[in-house]
């Protein structure tokens, strides 16, 4: 229709103003030029429409992937609350029977810690400094139940760049240490936290529990952390272990804010 309409208009205009006489060769040539013009305009239009549609599909796919990732992250974060609550209520139950006053102090600190956890779980990331403060308080509570059985050492050199880490990452790492090791006052578990490039390294001496039937299992805690790091950073956690030590590397990302975490060494 475009070719016939364009050819008719061109030939009619030329005949009307008397430019060219009408003959079949001129008509064929005009039709050929109209065909080439149709290919040029139609091709450009089709390319534009195809590119525009491809962009829309890519955007829709990206939005779908983002929604899927957010829903997965939300589901993974919701696994933290029962896990954390169950472990610490067991500690509180034991303290109530042994020392009610100590249990009351533990409950106050636990409520404060749990409130902090609820606040940070609203975000996917927290600053490394806040997560380390959380870890120190967590270990303090743990050592009220097991005096001098766990030693936490934070060995960080001063950095001008603050890091962001998955919220609750150190909680899961410390719970994993406690779950799979037996600690005593005379044979404590020493947990070292170091910074290497954009990874936080948590290592400890191994004193495996005899009832641990699945020493190679990540269980819910580290499996949760592995999935969240993969979704948010595109990097997985790294685990290295031998007969004496266990090491967990957690990926982080740089935070370009101005806060600086000073080097400390905390023993609780």
Q: What is the DSSP letter of 20?
A: S
Residue 118 backbone dihedrals phi, psi, to 5 degrees: -65, -40
240 token code pair: 């290295």
The whole-number pLDDT of residue 160 equals: 40
Is residue 106 a contact partner of residue 92, using CB atoms and an 8 Å limit?
A: yes
User: What angle, rounded to 10 degrees, do the helices at 80-98 and 128-145 form?
Assistant: 30
**Average pLDDT value for the chain:** 77
Cα distance between residue 229 and residue 131, in whole Å: 16
Greater confidence, 217 or 200?
200
Which residues share a beta bridge with 258? none
User: Per mean pLDDT, which range of 69-73, 172-176, 205-209, 253-257 is the poorest?
Assistant: 69-73
Could you report the per-residue pLDDT of 127-138, keeping only the tens digit for each?
A: 888 888 888 888
Rg (the chain; Cα; Å): 33
Cα distance between residue 114 and residue 108, in whole Å: 10
Is residue 175 a contact partner of residue 83, using CB atoms and an 8 Å limit?
A: yes
Question: What percentage of the chain has pLDDT greater than the value 90?
Answer: 16
- Per DSSP (E only), the strands in 120-227 are 125-127, 150-155, 162-166, 189-196, 199-205
pLDDT tops 60 at residue 4:
yes
The whole-number pLDDT of residue 220 equals: 67
Question: What percentage of the chain has pLDDT greater than the value 70?
Answer: 74
The whole-number pLDDT of residue 248 equals: 96
The whole-number pLDDT of residue 134 equals: 85
Cα distance between residue 253 and residue 175, in whole Å: 23
Greater confidence, 49 or 88?
49
For the sheet containing 253-255, what is the strand order? 125-127, 162-166, 253-255
Q: What is the DSSP letter of 181?
A: B
The whole-number pLDDT of residue 18 equals: 65
Could you report the per-residue pLDDT of 41-70, keeping only the tens digit for each?
A: 878 888 888 888 888 888 877 776 665 566
Average pLDDT over residues 145-166: 81
The whole-number pLDDT of residue 259 equals: 42
Most confident of 35-44, 62-71, 141-150: 141-150
The whole-number pLDDT of residue 76 equals: 55
């Amino acid at each position: 229709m475009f070719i016939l309409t364009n050819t008719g208009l061109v030939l009619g205009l030329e005949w009307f103003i008397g430019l060219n006489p009408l003959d079949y060769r001129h008509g064929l040539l005009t039709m050929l030029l109209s065909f080439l013009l149709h290919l040029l305009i139609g091709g450009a239009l089709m390319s534009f429409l195809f590119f525009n549609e491809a962009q829309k599909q890519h955007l829709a796919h990206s939005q779908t992937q983002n929604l899927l990732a957010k829903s997965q992250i939300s589901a993974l974060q919701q696994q933290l609350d029962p896990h954390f609550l169950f472990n610490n209520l067991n500690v509180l139950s034991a303290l109530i029977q042994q020392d009610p006053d100590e249990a009351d102090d533990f409950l106050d600190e636990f409520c404060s810690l749990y409130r902090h956890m609820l606040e940070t779980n609203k975000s996917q990331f927290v600053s490394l400094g806040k997560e380390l403060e959380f870890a120190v308080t967590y270990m303090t509570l743990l050592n009220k139940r097991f005096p001098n059985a766990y030693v936490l050492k934070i060995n960080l050199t001063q950095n001008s760049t603050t890091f962001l880490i998955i919220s609750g990452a150190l909680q899961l790492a410390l719970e994993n240490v406690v779950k799979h090791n037996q600690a005593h006052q005379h044979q404590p578990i020493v947990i070292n936290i170091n910074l290497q490039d954009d990874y936080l390294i948590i290592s400890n001496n191994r004193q495996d529990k005899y009832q641990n039937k699945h020493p190679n299992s990540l269980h819910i805690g580290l499996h949760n952390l592995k999935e969240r790091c993969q979704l948010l950073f595109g990097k997985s956690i790294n685990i290295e272990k031998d007969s004496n030590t266990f090491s967990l590397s957690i990926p982080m990302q740089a935070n370009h804010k101005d806060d600086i975490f000073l080097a400390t060494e905390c023993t609780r």
